[in-house]
Amino acid sequence: MGIVKNICCIGAGYVGGPTMAVIAHKCPHIKVTIVDLNAERIAAWNDEDVNNIPIYEPGLSEVVQSARGKNLFFSTDVEKAIDEADMIFISVNTPTKTYGLGKGMAADLKYIELCARQIAAVAKTGKIVVEKSTLPVRTAEAIKNILDNTGNGAKFQILSNPEFLAEGTAVEDLLHPDRVLIGGDTDAEGKKAIDALVEVYSNWVPEEKILTTNVWSSELSKLTANAFLAQRVSSINAMSELCERTGADVNEVARAIGMDSRIGSKFLKASVGFGGSCFQKDILNLVYIAKSYGLNQVADYWEQVVIMNDHQKQRFAANIVKTLYNTVSDKKIAFLGWAFKKDTNDTRESAAIYVADELLNEQANIAVYDPKVESDVVYRDLNYLDTRSAEQNKLGVSISDDPYTVCKDAHAIAVLTEWDEFKAYDWQKIYDNMKKPAFVFDGRNILDGDKMKDIGFIFQQIGK
């Protein structure tokens, strides 16, 4: 297990795609192959027009273009890539379980186990296997048991290398990371494997930013980091409700406490709630782990972060109904934004989904505009909730690629993603074409409230 020359990554999603693209970009001497059983996704990654790749991240298409076809490849031939690789990254989905023991909290590891079994079946020589997906503590032990006991006698080393990407800034996070964390066994072979991965990252990451730990600490660090960040969001959102009742301004409160060097200003932006693929999933996983060890008070503490986040979304929707004279039945509510945050087309756990669901239950008509989210994704997200039939969702929700069309004849606008372009709209034109009185509910606190009120909007922001 010397210098790495050939990397395989199983999983061409939000983590695997950008991470491997940056590795290939920064390590032209290493062949990087990303494999996935989803042929449509691989075809999109291989599209001649690099702007059509399946993940939108600022700067990603340029990075892919710099290496694709040279030392970066996308393929559905999983077995060939496994066989040729010195190092294999597992970067498949680990959703929250929807069935059985741990339903609604534990991570579903079936895709991880399938990967481990496929690696064991194919590999004839020793491999370094790297956990890149977010996994519960001690998953590496399970992967090692599968590899060592179901394979062809090849020797494997398991490393944990959690990602700390923020969608919307993923490429920048990969090019200039706060830290790279690598966990592995502490014996001689484990240290060799760790050194091999350190060697890859050291092509562009300063040595002092590459941290090495035992594998268990690495796995738990990822869950802990996301739990701490989500906790800050729920904390400021809890204060936002108090601010609204007392006449305080949550932005002023956040600025005041953020200037305390012990606290800092990041993740103190009050909003309709956090979303994305990691925060809620990782916190619920942490809750499940704590409960499995009988640490019920620890579990209750972290579960409250998710409860507060759900409350904020429900409160936002309820406020729209209350403000529109306690009924939104047959009223058009325009949604600006469907992605869970700006500069990404990822909609997983987006607040917009749950706000829409609440308003559809009140028989509202929802019109959606998002600059990067396709219409079929919007319907898929709503259908996944299984609250209504697909036909009912189609009747209740319309989607347009023109924000002015979406807002025309609307009774109210809900801003649900903080896309920069929303600030530059001709809001006078939007106002003139809306039903009166015209309401705007700024769920991301990005618009100039004084300007909106001067135009004539009845305007509300979170925490004011």
Dmax (CA) for the chain in angstroms is 74
Token reading at 258: 């953020």
**Upper half-sphere CA count for residue 233 (Cβ side, 13 Å):** 26
Q: Which residues are catalytic?
A: 278
Residues 234-255, buried b or exposed e (16+ Cβ, 10 A)? bbbbbbbbebbeeeeebbebbe
Torsion sign over Cα 326, 332, 333, 339: positive
Give dist(CA 8, CA 85) in Å, integer. 6
